[in-house]
Structure 1
Amino acid sequence: MGYASMDQSGAGMISRQYCRAFIFADPNNSTQRVVFVTAEIGMISQRVRLAVMQQLKNRYGDLYGPDNVVLSGTHTHSGPGGYFQYTIYMISSRGFIKPSFNAIVNGILESIATAHENMVKGRVFINKGLVENTQINRSPLSYLNNPESERLRYTSNTDKEMVLLKMVADNGQEIGMLSWFAIHPVSMNNTNLHTSSDNIGYAAYLFEEEKNKGYLTGKGPYVAGFASSNLGDVSPNIQGPHCINTGDSCENLNNYCPIGGTKMCIAKGPGKDMLESTQIIGRNIYLKAKGKTCKPALGYSFAAGTMDGPGMFNFTQGMIEGNSFWDAVRDAVLTRPSKETEECHKPKPILIPTGELSKPYPWHPNIIDIQIITVGSLAILALPGEFSYVLSFFIYLYICKEFESHGKTEMNVVLSGLCNIYTHYIATYEEYQIQRYEGASTLFGPHTLSAYIQLYRGLAKAIAEGTARDLPNLPEPPILNVTDLTFLPIIRDAKPLDRNYGDVLQDVQPKYRMGEVAEVRFVGANPRNSATNMTNFTFLTVEKYDNTSNHWKVMYNDASWDTRFTWQKDIWGRSTSIVQWHISNNTEPGTYRIQYFGHSKELLRPIRSFSGSSLQFEVSG
């Protein structure tokens, strides 16, 4: 979910995606608390938030709810889709995928429950620092269209600052950290078919591996959260856009190549391939941690994509005029936008008038969650989308000024992106006029910024005056009945007649050296069958034989970045699951085996678990 590419159907796993929850409570009144959740998914859907809030109410009563819980997505573009209730988001994921939705909701709930059950008294420390050589502005022409007087306020066209909270228990034990940094998790490009938490996830992986030595990935007590921030126009592909067929730069208004058009213009990261780029960018982040609004509508340049993931057909960035052919297609297939909506969104030419589409369900939300939570002198603004650098700085300044004008002079304001609901991008009025991807994806028109400033200032004022609980109740978003809308049902699994699920089709070699790849192929089943048990489940283990205890010890699972899990399905419905172990140079020599775990679903039979194992093999230096 993220590139909106119909060709990007999942085929395996590079890294597991985690949810991390942090609860902060007043030591003098433990019922006064706030929850911040960062989930390694594309974004938080309104449907997910509503489901989580209902389950929290069922479990904890009024202790946790919409007023004190923020759910934030890291914005990885290599995660599952299908957990949205609005039509526009369901198109690329081919509907509502209930297993994905349930896994995400259950994972968030479990992370909050784990945090709730493990709360300890302690202190929170705040620090800030600059992260260099990690990001670029992917729409510099839009940035340059902002007033010079505004641009002179900044030393860069991206926000390089990381804000970090360090959490230490009263006994001196470090228990966690939570940071915000502006970067798009798109180091893995739209050709990737394996789930990945991308660069931000890799930073969290490295941090937790360092702090939780001796634990399997994802199992240790220390929690490292890397949350999204004002990443709207920020890319990790720091080599910039180049024509992949000629090598020439295509950093122009349209991201257009003379030969091949926009499809040939793709930005590259610092590595030799997208996985290495992911790890380099993630390591950089890890080391540093160490007017009126309109009905929603998407413009032509939305379909052009960005240099991180180009779009399709003949759409380009910077389109401020429509096209008679695509206008005719839009009018015939969807609907023609009303005159009011067209006027409101100018100079955006409207490609998809989502605010005027309601079948089979509304295509975009019309109720947006706005939220600020405070922890002592820290104020976290929950931003419902991807805010560009300059725009987010406007909001930051206004909120700081609002707090100061009401006596709160020591507030540290942090912007946390993609929280509670997804509303695409938000650009400044000036950036909007250029109509690159971010401007075309600003749903509510050119004056969206003014509306958000007004709302956030009102919340900041109420918090500063202690009157937040007296604010009027506002309309609740709907829960749409989308649970049965899917175009990717699991009908049944199939296997060769002479085989069982988990049988080895191609086994490992007897011996490997460090730096080589051990691979085994199994008779498999659809990984979605395992979604119900996903939270504490692994598709694979790499195990080492312990000569002292005469038992096998799990060394790696599917959360390790040294393992790969790939699922393939043939035209007869038979699945092959491929498990790879990339043997690192610091691997302990010894006897190993690889195990695979799954669940099969055959016609008229309940879902059944199964497993398979490779032969033993030796690893030497």
Structure 2
Amino acid sequence: MSTPPSPPLPPVSALLAGAAEVDLTPPPGLPKAGYSRNARTGVGFRGRLRARVLHLRAGTASVVIVACDLLGGSAVVQRQVAARTGVPLAGLFLGATHTHGAPGQFLGTDLYNGFASNRPGFDPVWTEFLVRRISAGVERAVASRRPAAAAWGSTDVWGLTRNRSLAAHVRNADRDDRRIAPHRTYASVDPRLRVLRVDGTDGDPIAALAVFGVHGTGIPMRNSVYNADLWAYVYEEMRGCAPVVGALQGTHADVAPALRPGRAGDVEAARVGRGIGRAAAALHAALTPTTDVELGAGLREVDLTASRTYDGITLPERPALGAALIAGAYENETPVVHRIPPFRAGVPKPHAPGDPHGAKWVIGSRWLQPAVVPLRHFPRVIPVHVLRIGSALLVGAPFEITVDAGRRVAAAAGPGDVIVSSVANEYAGYCTTAEEYTRQHYEGGHTLYGPNTAAFLAAHAASLAAAVTPGAMVTEAPPERTFDLRAHRYWPPRGPGGSPRRAGTARFVDVTAEQDAYWEQGWFDAAPGDLVWHEPIARVEWRSPDGWRPLVDDSSCAVEVRHHGDDRYLVRWHDPDLRPGRTYRFVVRGLALEPFN
């Protein structure tokens, strides 16, 4: 795959902006990514998966930020979108919320197409769908651009997140929590919520973008529908801010949502997500956009096969998966295994000072693992991305970055307001500090390139940030990228025709500690491969004196659609707004089901 050309751009005299939103919801049948073998194959959706596209143009620079409800970015998708749309590769930032409720199988490495989901393989049909949909969103955003103003803001959000790897975090020798929380003696999370507000010069809103560090794990791994996890509720709370509202993951690797014990599920995801969303909406309202916004962009793809040393920092010749990875992260531990050394968190390996992987127990030993997982399956090209947007630098990397590793990257790329975003443009495991790595929790075991990973990333971010001056478009990438991936199609084929469309009987399911109450009704329809899942399917209506009126549709987290086997489906209305004397009904693909009250 050739690197798309990036010819010089003609200057423009003022900031221009455009935005678009596209639906990425696939049909049932795709493996979900994030919980590895403990995940479930998707059977439908609750809260649609989307990509939000923000395009900015100023001076001789052009930037497109794509915020996806996916596990991470993908170099395959990024490069194909750039080639199809003509957007400079340096300006195309493919970010994600890192929800654990979306399909995988679109990444640029066999390791994570195989490891991140419950079933392995690269799905070319799903990947082409993503490229086509995101490209359409980019083209719409560019076509809609108009004179604009923008502003960044920051506020602190406390009590909704917690550090899930505290014993490793406190090992950081230079930890100074007051750098991010001046009024707190101790802070194990980064509480800063950043919001970018973009309005037209006429005052009409164009887009809003939130950046915050918290794992998308509010909804447990046993859940079997596609979902944006807690981020879906962030969007719902910010709905009034702008026509297009997106979010990017911050430095979240050791940060989990502060769920009440034993209550992982939509109720807790909604509580945490709405809290973050309310804070973001309030911050957005307080911002005053300005037209004086300078832009710049730089993308460096670091080929570790050619160069593992930078600024005196060297990474191991071969990456390695650590034993602590098998035990799972603290809030989603693998039963039994998480108690057994060397898989148990906090059981580092005795090692010589020159060991490139230090305290990591290599799964299967450093001799057997290469035979099982060839070097070509690992991420070998590491994208480092820097966007200059007004008063802030946005630094993107493909790793899940811990709080303190993120602080060090930001300090190296500064001065000024530096916002570090994880899982951008590809997925390449974790990035801990050297001190956290010595503890060998899940995060350290999943840091593929050893204890120097954060320092290596910080050095590249610093030099690239220095090159990204206002108006600059810096592309440092191999002229050709080869992706040799094991393909497996999960996207369902078209069916033989299905049963005649007809409805079942509605029933009410009461609330539990993890799940809100819902009305549910079944219907029979065509095969999943014959339905268009990224377009509206179901809605709830109520009967007024003047006839049936729409109440809520499946663009909301309140409506869930499931494939229930063969030609059977279920639609659910969660936390229903039932009022005395009213009658309701579901409408699915134009078919009105039996009313209920």
Q: Secondary structure at the match of 1:542?
A: strand
Partner of 1:93: 119
1:311-331 Cα distance to aligned partner (Å, 9 max, x none) = 255232223249xxxxxxxxx
Contact conserved, 1:568 with 1:577, CA < 8 A, in 2?
yes
Contact conserved, 2:78 with 2:92, CA < 8 A, in 1?
no
Greater radius of gyration (CA): 1
Partner of 2:501: 502
Amino acid at match of 1:500: S
Partner of 1:175: 206
User: Residue 391 of structure 1: CA displacement?
Assistant: 0.9
Which of 291, 309, 314 lines up with 1:292 in the alignment?
314
Which of 376, 387, 397 lines up with 2:401 in the alignment?
387
Structure 1 residues 520 and 347: alpha-carbon distance in aligned structure 2, compared to 1, 3 A threshold = same
Which of 189, 214, 230 lines up with 1:158 in the alignment?
189
User: Residue 42 of structure 1: CA displacement?
Assistant: 1.0
Say whether residues 1:303 and 2:294 are aligned partners: no
User: Residue 144 of structure 1: CA displacement?
Assistant: 1.2
Q: Secondary structure at the match of 1:116?
A: helix
Say whether residues 1:477 and 2:481 are aligned partners: yes
1:185-232 Cα distance to aligned partner (Å, 9 max, x none) = 100011111111011221012211x35xxxxxxxxx611112111111
Structure 1 residues 80 and 524: alpha-carbon distance in aligned structure 2, compared to 1, 3 A threshold = farther
Structure 1 residues 151 and 282: alpha-carbon distance in aligned structure 2, compared to 1, 3 A threshold = closer
Give me the whole-angstrom Cα distance separating, in 2, the residues matched to 1:227 and 1:478: 27
Structure 1 residues 93 and 588: alpha-carbon distance in aligned structure 2, compared to 1, 3 A threshold = farther
Partner of 1:457: 462
Q: Secondary structure at the match of 2:131?
A: helix
1:318-368 Cα distance to aligned partner (Å, 9 max, x none) = 23249xxxxxxxxxxxxxxxx99x932121111177994697993222011
Give me the whole-angstrom Cα distance separating, in 1, the residues matched to 2:477 and 2:80: 20
User: Residue 559 of structure 1: CA displacement?
Assistant: 2.1
1:515-534 alignment runs, 5 A limit: 517-530=518-531, 533-534=532-533
Which of 45, 63, 73 lines up with 1:34 in the alignment?
63
Give me the whole-angstrom Cα distance separating, in 1, the residues matched to 2:580 and 2:49: 27
User: Residue 124 of structure 1: CA displacement?
Assistant: 0.6
Deviates more, 1:198-207 or 1:80-89: 80-89
1:308-319 alignment runs, 5 A limit: 308-311=331-334, 314=337, 315-319=343-347
Structure 1 residues 2 and 473: alpha-carbon distance in aligned structure 2, compared to 1, 3 A threshold = closer
If the length of structure 1 is used for normalisation, what is the TM-score? 0.75
Say whether residues 1:613 and 2:582 are aligned partners: no
If the length of structure 2 is used for normalisation, what is the TM-score? 0.78
Contact conserved, 1:305 with 1:437, CA < 8 A, in 2?
yes
Give me the whole-angstrom Cα distance separating, in 2, the residues matched to 1:544 and 1:399: 55
Amino acid at match of 1:50: R
Give me the whole-angstrom Cα distance separating, in 2, the residues matched to 1:68 and 1:585: 44
Give me the whole-angstrom Cα distance separating, in 1, the residues matched to 2:480 and 2:449: 19
Amino acid at match of 2:65: F
Partner of 1:582: 574
Q: Secondary structure at the match of 1:194?
A: coil
Give me the whole-angstrom Cα distance separating, in 1, the residues matched to 2:481 and 2:563: 37
1:589-604 alignment runs, 5 A limit: 590=582, 592-597=584-589
Partner of 2:20: none
User: Residue 23 of structure 1: CA displacement?
Assistant: 0.9
User: Residue 412 of structure 1: CA displacement?
Assistant: 2.7
Deviates more, 1:425-434 or 1:98-107: 98-107
Give me the whole-angstrom Cα distance separating, in 2, the residues matched to 1:202 and 1:192: 17
Task: State the identity %.
Answer: 21
Partner of 1:542: 540
Give me the whole-angstrom Cα distance separating, in 2, the residues matched to 1:421 and 1:70: 10
Say whether residues 1:236 and 2:261 are aligned partners: no
Partner of 1:559: 555
Deviates more, 1:47-56 or 1:292-301: 47-56
Amino acid at match of 1:166: R
Give me the whole-angstrom Cα distance separating, in 2, the residues matched to 1:457 and 1:433: 25
Give me the whole-angstrom Cα distance separating, in 2, the residues matched to 1:522 and 1:436: 47
Amino acid at match of 2:345: Q
Give me the whole-angstrom Cα distance separating, in 2, the residues matched to 1:227 and 1:442: 21
Q: CA RMSD in A?
A: 3.2
Amino acid at match of 2:520: E
Give me the whole-angstrom Cα distance separating, in 2, the residues matched to 1:116 and 1:449: 35
1:537-576 Cα distance to aligned partner (Å, 9 max, x none) = 123222345665x6x554332221221222222xxxx242
Contact conserved, 1:347 with 1:433, CA < 8 A, in 2?
yes
Amino acid at match of 1:390: D
User: Residue 38 of structure 1: CA displacement?
Assistant: 0.7
Give me the whole-angstrom Cα distance separating, in 2, the residues matched to 1:44 and 1:473: 17
Which of 91, 101, 114 lines up with 2:140 in the alignment?
114
Deviates more, 1:520-529 or 1:343-352: 520-529
User: Residue 445 of structure 1: CA displacement?
Assistant: 1.0
Contact conserved, 1:459 with 1:468, CA < 8 A, in 2?
no
Which of 84, 96, 100 lines up with 1:55 in the alignment?
84
Give me the whole-angstrom Cα distance separating, in 2, the residues matched to 1:159 and 1:502: 51
Give me the whole-angstrom Cα distance separating, in 2, the residues matched to 1:312 and 1:475: 46
Give unpaired runs (5+ residues) of structure 1: 212-220, 240-266, 323-338, 402-410, 598-610
Partner of 2:302: none
Give me the whole-angstrom Cα distance separating, in 1, the residues matched to 2:470 and 2:517: 62
Which of 32, 38, 43 lines up with 1:11 in the alignment?
43
Structure 1 residues 205 and 435: alpha-carbon distance in aligned structure 2, compared to 1, 3 A threshold = same
Say whether residues 1:79 and 2:102 are aligned partners: yes
1:242-290 Cα distance to aligned partner (Å, 9 max, x none) = xxxxxxxxxxxxxxxxxxxxxxxxx64xxx5511100000011011101
Give me the whole-angstrom Cα distance separating, in 2, the residues matched to 1:355 and 1:116: 46
How many residues align? The count is 512
Give me the whole-angstrom Cα distance separating, in 2, the residues matched to 1:379 and 1:20: 20
1:293-442 alignment runs, 5 A limit: 293-294=315-316, 295-311=318-334, 314=337, 315-321=343-349, 343-351=355-363, 356=370, 362-401=376-415, 411-442=416-447
Amino acid at match of 2:425: N
Give me the whole-angstrom Cα distance separating, in 1, the residues matched to 2:580 and 2:496: 38
Structure 1 residues 468 and 141: alpha-carbon distance in aligned structure 2, compared to 1, 3 A threshold = same
1:127-146 alignment runs, 5 A limit: 127-146=153-172
Partner of 1:69: 92
User: Residue 369 of structure 1: CA displacement?
Assistant: 1.1
Q: Secondary structure at the match of 2:129?
A: helix
Say whether residues 1:191 and 2:170 are aligned partners: no
Give me the whole-angstrom Cα distance separating, in 2, the residues matched to 1:305 and 1:593: 43
Partner of 1:223: 244
Q: Secondary structure at the match of 1:454?
A: helix
Structure 1 residues 520 and 153: alpha-carbon distance in aligned structure 2, compared to 1, 3 A threshold = closer
Partner of 2:73: 44
Amino acid at match of 1:42: L
